[in-house]
């Protein structure tokens, strides 16, 4: 029997192929290969300064790799122009490390910012959508507060609301729970899972937090010495006898 031809639509939303990046003599990415399946929650872990943020920024064109490819929905976006990447960033939202909220804007205006920048919607419609998204992330009634008035967990929620307001297919979460207490860590993790379930958003999470990673993700990838050293399901990672994987689980390989 001949093999049936698969439909055009790729089951991988993102394919990173042999990605290299140096900053002067700092050779950070040394051939990263990573495929992210549509609809999954994937976690990328690795020690501080190993290039996790560089990988996320490379996906949406904020850093240009020296070599290799980034494929999005089957198309090569590696050499897209800045204008083309603006379109990509509507489909791939990012929660930046530390939140990156605008201190001078209130919660609602922070969340509505991408709508004002990228859509021709009326002011009424923009506010309506902003309020709806704030409800979805559990921040109803907080529209008028400023970032300085918010707890760490609330700031993270505002950042997440802003990253989903353009209804992206995928979100890159850079350290979404770092610096939060256990209660807020759990809340933010649950929110990420909920967005994945209700909206079908594919998520790539960068974290140092092995406990959260093992709790909420479908698969984990481990960045070590500029490459993905291991990728697998939670179960595969947990039962691995590989010494490097074991040192990741124990936290040794993640130490600063």
Ligand X SMILES: Nc1ncnc2c1ncn2[C@@H]1O[C@H](COP(=O)(O)OP(=O)(O)OP(=O)(O)O)[C@@H](O)[C@H]1O
Among 50, 53, 187, 212, binds Mg ion (CB under 5 A): 53
Dihedral over Cα of 156, 42, 53, 163: its sign: negative
Site string for Mg ion, 1-40 (x = CB under 5 A): ----------------------------------------
Of 14, 12, 155, give the one whose Cα is nearest residue 95: 155
Residue 25, interface with ligand X (CB under 6 A)? no
108: helix, strand or coil: helix
DSSP state of 66: S
Among 51, 65, 159, 176, binds ligand X (CB under 6 A): 51
Nearest to ligand X of 238, 255 (CB atom)? 255
Do 43 and 207 form a contact (C-beta atoms < 8 A)? yes
Residue 46, interface with ligand X (CB under 6 A)? yes
Output the smallest distance, CB 224 to ligand X, in A.
11
Q: Quick one: which segment of 42-50, 74-82, 140-148, 153-161 binds ligand X (CB under 6 A)?
A: 42-50
# binding residues, Mg ion (CB under 5 A): 1
Of 143, 144, 139, 222, give the one whose Cα is nearest residue 188: 139
Of 11, 13, 117, give the one whose Cα is nearest residue 60: 13
| Intra-chain end-to-end CA distance of the chain, in Å | 54
Nearest to Mg ion of 53, 203 (CB atom)? 53
Residue 147, interface with ligand X (CB under 6 A)? no
Nearest to Mg ion of 47, 114 (CB atom)? 47
Residue 58, interface with ligand X (CB under 6 A)? no
Of 255, 236, 234, 237, give the one whose Cα is nearest residue 246: 237
Residue 177, interface with Mg ion (CB under 5 A)? no
Which tokens go with 203?
């998520």
Return the residues of window 72-101 that contact ligand X according to CB under 6 A: 97
Q: Quick one: which segment of 21-29, 104-112, 194-202, 224-232 binds ligand X (CB under 6 A)?
A: 21-29
Output the smallest distance, CB 54 to ligand X, in A.
4
Q: Which of ligand X, Mg ion, none binds 50 (CB below 5-8 Å, type-dependent)? A: ligand X
Site string for ligand X, 167-196 (x = CB under 6 A): ------------------------------
46: helix, strand or coil: coil
DSSP calls for 140-201: TT-TT--GGGS-HHHHHHHHHHHHHTT--SEEEEESTTTT--HHHHHHHHHHHHHHHHHH--
d(CA 217, CA 198): 16
Chain positions contacting ligand X, by CB under 6 A: 23, 26, 28, 46, 48-54, 97
Chain positions contacting Mg ion, by CB under 5 A: 53
């Amino acid at each position: 029997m001949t093999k049936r031809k698969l439909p055009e639509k790729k089951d991988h939303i993102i394919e990173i192929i042999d990605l290299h990046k140096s900053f002067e003599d700092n050779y950070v990415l040394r051939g990263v290969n990573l495929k992210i399946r549509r609809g999954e929650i994937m976690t990328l872990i690795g020690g501080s300064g190993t290039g996790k943020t560089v990988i996320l920024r490379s996906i949406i064109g904020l850093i240009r790799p020296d070599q290799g490819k980034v494929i999005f929905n089957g198309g090569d976006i590696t050499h897209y122009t800045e204008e083309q990447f603006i379109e990509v960033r509507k489909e791939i939202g990012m929660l930046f490390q530390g939140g990156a909220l605008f201190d001078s804007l209130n919660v609602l205006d922070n969340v509505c910012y991408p709508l004002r920048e990228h859509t021709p919607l009326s002011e009424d419609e923009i506010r309506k959508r902003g309020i709806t998204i704030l409800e979805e992330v559990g921040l109803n009634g907080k529209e008028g507060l400023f970032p300085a008035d918010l707890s760490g967990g609330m700031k993270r929620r505002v950042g997440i609301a802003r990253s989903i307001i353009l209804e992206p297919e995928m979100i890159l979460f850079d350290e979404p729970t770092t610096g939060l207490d256990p209660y807020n860590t759990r809340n933010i993790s649950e929110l990420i899972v909920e967005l994945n379930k209700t909206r079908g958003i594919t998520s790539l999470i960068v974290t140092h937090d092995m406990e959260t990673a093992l709790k909420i993700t479908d698969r984990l990838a481990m960045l070590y010495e500029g490459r993905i050293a291991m990728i697998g399901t939670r179960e595969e990672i947990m039962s691995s006898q590989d010494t490097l994987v074991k040192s990741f689980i124990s936290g040794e390989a993640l130490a600063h």
